[in-house]
Structure 1
């Protein structure tokens, strides 16, 4: 988110998709990055739209699939109240531990598990939140099928995911951004770069109804704002994490800094919020 509970088999091992496999330094960077993302005004805007689409209500049991540090799960616990319950499931034991350490006493149960193989009964939850998870898995439709299985008839499923193909920059030399993105694609960004735009089609194919699809274009007017969400403009990401030829990272970051200083920097990225109800 994204948030990063993953299936064991991945198309790519981006830093955000295999947290338990990272070095201690990189794990700390990713955990801090996820916390900072959750505080960013544009990610908060995406989540407000998603909350409206999911429509959490008092007494519901909801699943947060790929729950990360648990901040969304704790937010969902507010509208469901004391009679409801949030199941926060993440594939990363490190993320689950971080979520537990930040627990606020709300009605959230933190679990380590695979979103594609949930050990839950059919129809066990009233709704599902799944944020920036599907872009990292091998078979998104299989995971969606599992989320549908554990949701009661008429329950609501809300999928939030990134369309990395929409990522665009302005203020830097023409072609330089494309060159950098060509090298970091599949490293900072997963190979399933168009997941966000495919969510509507996938839910239609799965037979869901009452579908809404909202593209949210996140706008970043400064390098500092963009760096919270886009690792390829963050100078604090260590050189060892990059997949660029010698000198390209430095050239790119220098141009980003110059664009920021001149006030001409711009970055945009679309995140899709797609929600629908299960049949019944």
Structure 2
């Protein structure tokens, strides 16, 4: 079994990637933000999106950034420069908030890693007021595709990645709409956002198996293939015929 790499580590790598920012803009629009609202960012990592939400609300609202990692929350507090964001360490499946406390909640790339994602969705809905919005963002890792490299090599690396280190629910993105329906939300929509990477450098921030800076101990690439894999990536980048795609989903609904 490969060594697990924490989700927060990958999110730290891709936090400024323009393709991820494009997905986040779709998600922010789905929240229907208004001045004075209380917003929850569940699984906030180091808090960059929560601080962005604070600027969109012109500091007239209250934003809680919650994450299970004490380390991530500590970094988030260090990076904050006086925003209205409150940082809390907690479990998204059992939050210490009253029913209907928030006007809107968002949860990005968390459900993929949970043993019971539906329990988390139910909890997110519980803490959202009637008429409030719940927005979920997650990846469909089975959609990952790479071109410009030898097909047998791509097939082996892809199979290894999906089997060992990505997460417990490879199809999470495409299941978000169903999960919101089952949680009783109304006006549920789901938007697929195709991420496009025209070179290995652009892809490396989001696709960890393309990033040579991720250590071999992480187990993302089979040991006997690592040299061939990164050699082929470099050659494809030099030729200019590399391509990688990945689909993320933004699903939202009204409580």
TM over 0.5: yes
C-alpha separation in 2, matches of 1:98 and 1:245: 32
Q: TM-score, normalised by structure 2?
A: 0.95
Alignment partner, residue 15 of structure 1: 5
Alignment partner, residue 75 of structure 1: 52
1:84 aligns with 2:76: no
Alignment partner, residue 162 of structure 1: 139
1:188–1:232: 8 Å Cα contact kept in structure 2? no
C-alpha separation in 2, matches of 1:72 and 1:106: 12
Give the secondary structure class of the aligned counterpart of 1:39. Answer: coil
The CA deviation at 1:182 is: 1.7
Match of 1:247 among 224, 230, 246: 224
Give the secondary structure class of the aligned counterpart of 1:191. Answer: coil
Match of 2:214 among 223, 233, 237: 237
Give the secondary structure class of the aligned counterpart of 2:146. Answer: strand
Alignment partner, residue 126 of structure 1: 103
Moved more, 179-188 or 119-128: 179-188
The CA deviation at 1:16 is: 2.2
Residues 41 and 82 of structure 1, relative CA distance in 2, 3 Å threshold: closer
For the aligned residues, what is the CA RMSD? Answer: 1.5
Residues 74 and 13 of structure 1, relative CA distance in 2, 3 Å threshold: farther
The CA deviation at 1:244 is: 4.4
Alignment partner, residue 26 of structure 1: none
Residues 208 and 13 of structure 1, relative CA distance in 2, 3 Å threshold: farther
2:4–2:218: 8 Å Cα contact kept in structure 1? no
C-alpha separation in 1, matches of 2:224 and 2:115: 33
In structure 1, runs of 5+ residues without a counterpart are 1-11, 20-29
1:185–1:191: 8 Å Cα contact kept in structure 2? no
Alignment partner, residue 136 of structure 1: 113
How many residue pairs get matched?
A: 254
In structure 2, runs of 5+ residues without a counterpart are none
The C-alpha deviation readout for 1:194-215, integer Å capped at 9, x for no partner, is 0000000111122211122110
Alignment partner, residue 71 of structure 2: 94
Q: TM-score, normalised by structure 1?
A: 0.87
Runs of 4+ in 1 over 6 A off after TM superposition: none
C-alpha separation in 1, matches of 2:63 and 2:38: 6
Alignment partner, residue 213 of structure 1: 190
